[in-house]
Chains A and B, each alone.
Chain A
């Protein structure tokens, strides 16, 4: 009900929300299978309570936190964000969570901290995709942000959507949401947060560095080597209308542009 309270009913987007059923039944969460409907079918085996998160590296307050202790004292907010998948489809989702900046302030990064590295749970007992030998992925799933990206007010740590507790297939109980980057940056079911002074390894970049960069900012001018990124199918669409909409730089979140001033975003894709 804490999650429900954060839903203020005020639209901060005039775009139609993607229905709850679609948000929760069309997922990429390879720990539960590579098919879009696999996570909804398989993620019931994930045990999200109790959940602990290890905080490590360049912080004043490292340690193993119970999720509720990690979030204690932080204000839950609702944020309606566009989610742009690297596969050229997109949704509009009302998340509930806390700004990552407020969490990091609580943990107090040291002056050496330059990056935030995140790790997902990789438990073969609970996750059939982790057991599968054919995903090609070196588990656990890893992601990372530059500290200034992590501290940006748009960056959210979500614990819910549509005013409800995060469903398992959407990365329960605790996930990242970075709306101006491709969806794969928004790592799910996080068990470890580490502040580092060097750039962390990230899963898709490790798997195919020519296809997925560290930054992965939504950018219509830089195509994926195998498909165009200039437009996206806004979901849900219909059988006879794929509902293509033009993809916008930074997924339309222009306020983050200053983070990348002077950077060649074709080179740092």
Chain B
């Protein structure tokens, strides 16, 4: 495996935005509402990392760099870590784990419910991200990991719902997601046709 030596690079790459966000927070560059800004920034990057994760297989096929597929898992795990931090920062910094407020937010606010579901759907994927689990689950693993698309769609709805208006970013996220989904569908068909 000649490509192996650079595959670890996805780990520091995924850590870069987090480092930047923490630096901004620590240096007081997050304005007059830093906790809110922090929570939003982490959430934004969680979505970007999920999209990055899902771009890795198409990228490896189109660029003919097979090693890129290994980055898929790393970016997926980073997406999960950012989603966890997003949830934790929201519950801790903004709500202070106040049980009554937390209960209200988690039941009465559709965008929070949708966001939480998107995050929960990532847990089984993170839990089965090891090579061992993949080998043990076999075909079931592939099926299970289609859950990432549920996460993706819910996360985009969440991102759309959080805003008052201004849908530019949602349009970009949704378009990238649509391209990734379409690629997957078309690619599968092409592969099926090629089989005798």
Binding site for B on A (CB under 8 A): 18-19, 22, 25-26, 30, 34, 36-37, 86-87, 89, 91, 132, 134-137, 204, 207-208, 226-228, 233, 235-240, 242
Contacts and interface: CB of A to CB of B under 8 A. Distances in A.
A207 B165 contact: yes
A39 to B, nearest CB: 13
Interface stretch (B7-15, B25-33, B45-53): B25-33
Q: Most A CB atoms within 10 A — which of B163, B164, B171?
A: B164
A135 B31 contact: no
Given A228-B104, A239-B93, A34 B34 contact: no
A188 to B, nearest CB: 16
A18 B31 CA distance: 12
Given A89-B33, A233-B36, A239-B34, A135 B161 contact: no
B94 to A, nearest CB: 5
A18 B25 contact: no
A13 B83 CA distance: 41
A37 B31 contact: yes
Given A22-B31, A239-B25, A134 B166 contact: yes
B93 A242 contact: yes
User: Mostly helix, strand, loop or mixed at chain A's interface?
Assistant: loop
21 contacts: A22-B32, A25-B31, A26-B31, A34-B165, A36-B33, A36-B37, A89-B33, A135-B166, A137-B165, A207-B165, A227-B109, A228-B104, A228-B105, A233-B33, A236-B32, A237-B32, A237-B35, A239-B34, A239-B35, A239-B38, A242-B94
Interface string B159-188: 001011111100100000000000000000
B111 interface: yes
Contact of B109 (A135, A226, A236): A226
A258 B12 CA distance: 61
B19 interface: no
Contacts of A30: 165-166
Interface size range of chain B in the complex: 20 to 34
A22 B166 CA distance: 23
A207 B163 CA distance: 13
A89 B109 CA distance: 18
B148 to A, nearest CB: 26
**Most chain B CB inside 10 Å of its own CB: which residue of A18, A36, A137:** A36
A241 to B, nearest CB: 8
B66 interface: no
Contact of A226 (B37, B101, B110, B171): B110
Nearest to A184: B164
A25 B171 CA distance: 26
Given A34-B166, A36-B31, A242-B94, A226 B161 contact: yes
Given A89-B33, A237-B34, 16 more contacts: A19-B32, A25-B31, A25-B32, A26-B31, A26-B32, A26-B33, A30-B166, A36-B33, A134-B168, A135-B168, A228-B104, A236-B31, A236-B32, A239-B34, A242-B35, A242-B93
B33 A237 contact: yes
B13 to A, nearest CB: 25
Nearest to B94: A242
Q: Which 10 A-B pairs have the closest CB atoms?
A: A34-B166, A236-B32, A134-B168, A22-B32, A235-B32, A136-B165, A134-B167, A239-B34, A26-B32, A135-B166
Nearest to A40: B31
A18 B30 CA distance: 16
Contacts of A18: 32
Given A226-B161, A227-B109, A242-B93, A235 B166 contact: no
B34 A238 contact: yes
B33 A235 contact: yes
Contacts of B163: 34
A140 B3 CA distance: 56
A45 B125 CA distance: 48
